[in-house]
């Protein structure tokens, strides 16, 4: 937990942007949604801050 009492961090990125960066820093994927660019998805990631 951080100083503000946050227990989790949640981010959203696109498959062509930075998902690997977040995974290398301890985030885990918990969802994907297709969107307007063919062949790409939005990726939702989370990380416990405990």
Whether the model clears a pTM of 0.75, i.e. scores above it, the answer is yes
Nearest partner of 30 among 50, 8, 49, judged by Cα: 8
* Residue spans of the chain under pLDDT 50: none
Instruction: Report d(CA 34, CA 32) in Å as an integer.
Output: 7
- Quickly count: other Cβ atoms within 10 Å of residue 22's Cβ: 20
- Residue 21 is predicted with a pLDDT of 96
- Residue 2 is predicted with a pLDDT of 65
Reduce the DSSP state of residue 42 to 3 states and report it: strand
- Residue 1 is predicted with a pLDDT of 59
């Amino acid at each position: 937990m951080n100083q503000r009492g946050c227990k989790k961090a949640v981010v959203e990125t696109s498959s062509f942007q930075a998902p690997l960066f977040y995974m290398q820093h301890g985030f885990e994927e918990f969802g994907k949604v297709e969107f307007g660019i063919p062949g790409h998805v939005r990726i939702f990631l989370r990380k416990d801050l405990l």
